[in-house]
Structure 1
């Protein structure tokens, strides 16, 4: 972290913290509860990965089964796909499963990394969607590591460069890179919080 531009260091530290806490929340065997003490955590199972807390959830599905309610296609590559629809998206937004959120996060990190310090050619259509919990967690870990490497490749000038990240599914072409770094952090933080809540709800659901 010491080689990162000073303006990037706090955001990099925040990203590292958010990713570490989320991955620990998914894999266990323990995570920091926030006060320095460990809280026991069970690893994510396939049943929980696909659990739908309400009817009509968007999720990850076998491509042969087609998209779910209000979705018009399954995003991604491979035998599994993620419920999706072109803009404007359905309103109110559908509740999404843990599988959907993990897939979205992993794809976003991997593709933004590629469009910052990679081939700048990766697409959603070619990105594989995971059909198992362990694969999804591994994809998230890989995507987070790729994005972190992309951050470390940016110098101070890059942080102010509009379009430094050429990710084609957001406003990246119109934003200074530092703003994109901030945006990615809030994506990890808020989807991480959603995933943590789903884990709590699933645990309670299983006990009833």
Structure 2
């Protein structure tokens, strides 16, 4: 057997986890066609839509196709985090800014007692999930290694073309991965090394940001894989 060295440093572990997930994801996306890419398995899905056909109030994108997005809200699973932020002395206004929601929503959460109400979230298409990951990773690169001045929501020209969407997506992923591979131990520990404007990146050490990026990639790719299985079970074809 070979004696290939396995990295055990913090960055190495995070990169190896990401690389493994990326390899599996690319295999699972092989043969994706346009119809499957845009398939809505249930009514009222979120997807990408032509600008004139957008159905959600905050759909965004720089071109002819927009990514569905609804009103800003704090997921029920994050109520404890909001309570922790308040307990640590963060003002209601700052918490609202951190989550991109109104002050009223934060106040309601802080006053909430008992278990959170079950969340009702939309089912999203493969096109939506790929586009979501694309703009997130493109924005993470821009606000960590780039000029840090372009709105992440305007960086990606969304497309219904499954092949083109993947080409652009993997190019953005590879650029991000190459840049992350150069990060030093000092930068891993630097709070605010990433200034990505949506979320809590600016207040976290970069190793936590990378951990979150891996989680985001893995869970959305798992969802895409399931949608592909459902498509094949229903229609008996790939693409």
Of 89, 114, 126, the residue aligned with 2:154 is 126
Secondary structure, aligned partner of 2:66: strand
Which residue number corresponds to residue 32 of structure 1?
Answer: none
Of 111, 119, 126, the residue aligned with 1:98 is 126
Secondary structure, aligned partner of 1:61: strand
Greater fraction strand:
1
CA contact (8 A) 2:38 2:160 kept: no
The structure number with the bigger radius of gyration is 2
Of 103, 107, 111, the residue aligned with 2:135 is 107
Aligned length: 188
The runs of 5 or more residues in structure 2 that have no matched partner are: 76-118
* The 10-residue stretch of structure 1 (191-200 or 121-130) with the greater mean CA deviation from structure 2: 121-130
Q: Deviations over 1:42-75 (max 9, x none)?
A: x1000000001110100010112122xxx21321
Of 40, 64, 67, the residue aligned with 1:52 is 40
2:186 equivalent to 1:183? no
Distance in 1 separating the partners of 2:60 and 2:152 = 7
TM-score, normalised on structure 2?
0.74
Of 198, 203, 214, the residue aligned with 1:174 is 203
Which residue number corresponds to residue 86 of structure 2?
Answer: none
Which residue number corresponds to residue 26 of structure 1?
Answer: 29
Hey, which bits of structure 1, 4+ residues long, moved more than 2 A?
A: none
| CA displacement at 1:89 relative to structure 2 | 6.8
2:144 equivalent to 1:116? yes
Instruction: Tell me which of the two structures has the higher relative contact order, counting C-alpha pairs closer than 8 angstroms and 6 or more residues apart.
Output: 2
CA contact (8 A) 1:66 1:73 kept: no
Secondary structure, aligned partner of 2:191: coil
Of 15, 18, 28, the residue aligned with 1:12 is 15
Give the aligned CA root-mean-square deviation in angstroms: 1.9
Secondary structure, aligned partner of 1:199: helix
Distance in 1 separating the partners of 2:8 and 2:51 = 43
2:73 equivalent to 1:88? yes
TM-score, normalised on structure 1?
0.85
| CA displacement at 1:205 relative to structure 2 | 1.3
Greater fraction helix:
2
| CA displacement at 1:79 relative to structure 2 | 0.6
